[in-house]
Every structure is written in C-alpha cells, then in structure tokens.
Amino acid sequence: MDRDDLLRESIDFLHRYMMKSLQKHAEEYGVTVPQARVIADVLQHEPTSVKQLTQNLKMTQSTVSDIVERLTSKGILMKTPDPDDKRAVKITLTEATRQGIRGGTPEPLNRSVREALNLLEPGEQETVEQGMRLFVSAVKQKMESEGTEHSEYFDILFFPQDKTREK
C-alpha cells in the first residue's frame, strides 16, 4: 500500500472511530450525532444563529433549523430575539444544559483517544503525538500555500510551536 493510501485510509478509519464514539456518547444522552454537533457548536460560539451554525457545521439551513427546533423543544437550546435584528434569533444553551456540560464537551472523545493511546507504551505514545504534530503542520503549510489558511472551518488545531506562525 502506498504511503498516501495508508495515511488517507488511516485518517478515514480514525474519523469513523471518533464518530462511533460520539454516537455512543450522544445516544447515552438521548440525542443524535447531528444534534450533538449542534450543541457543541452552540457551546463554542454562543450566542449564535441558524445561519452561523449552517456555515460552521456544513449542513443545510433546513436541517439546522429542524435540529434547533427539536433541541429547543427538549429544553436543551433556547431561542431569543436578536435585539439588533428583529428578524433574527440568538441561539444559546439553556442553563440546565450548561450545568450538564460543565465537564467539557470533548471529554468523551478525549477519553476514547486516551484509552486507545494507553494501549501503547509511553515512547510509542510520544511517537504518535510527534507524528500528528508533524503531519498537521505539513497540512497547514499546504493550506497556506493554497490560500485556505484563514478558513475558520479548518482552524481547529493549535499546537504551542504553531503560535509563532500566527499572524
């Protein structure tokens, strides 16, 4: 197998693993994965709007609107009129949801990664971490050369040594 095939298939495998882990965790709380993604994005960007969620999550506006309505009716999200734009609403978490999340949204996924990493020796764990840092750094360089380095969608990983590259 070529290196590029191995890396692409490995990334795809890891993505499926993370999605399955997210699905398992979401089901424990009675929500779907798309609903969990909306909740996480609202947590990160609140107050937000359906339009902003649509852009951040790369979902259609009707899908996001439907998810927001369902989560609002479950008491997970809250919609309030936007004082700056009477036609718009701001979407936030309810206080009960915020209380339930206090442990931090990435923790279930972090736990899945941590448990898998713990199957490796400490030196192997360091090798994996260094490899990920190098590969993400190379991808960021490629994105910069393509003019996509400022895209919010991709600006998700910050490693301490990358701070010198921030503009």
pTM of the model: 0.61
The residue ranking higher by pLDDT, 27 or 122, is 122
**Residue 108 · residue 36 · CB < 8 Å:** no
Q: What pLDDT, on the 0 to 100 scale, is given for residue 76?
A: 93
125 pLDDT band (50/70/90 cuts)? Answer: very high
Q: Which residues pair with 85 in a beta bridge?
A: 82
For the segment 108-119, the average pLDDT, to the nearest whole number, is: 86
For the segment 102-112, the average pLDDT, to the nearest whole number, is: 66
DSSP state of 48: B
- pLDDT > 90 fraction of the chain, expressed in percent and rounded: 47
| Single-letter residue type at 110 | N
Q: What pLDDT, on the 0 to 100 scale, is given for residue 86?
A: 82
- Hey, what are 125's tokens? 């764990």
- Hey, what are 33's tokens? 């994965």
Domains and CATH numbers, the chain: 3-103 (1.10.10.10), 120-167 (no CATH)
The residue ranking higher by pLDDT, 96 or 126, is 126
Helix axes 61-73, 50-57, angle to 10 degrees: 120
For the segment 124-128, the average pLDDT, to the nearest whole number, is: 96
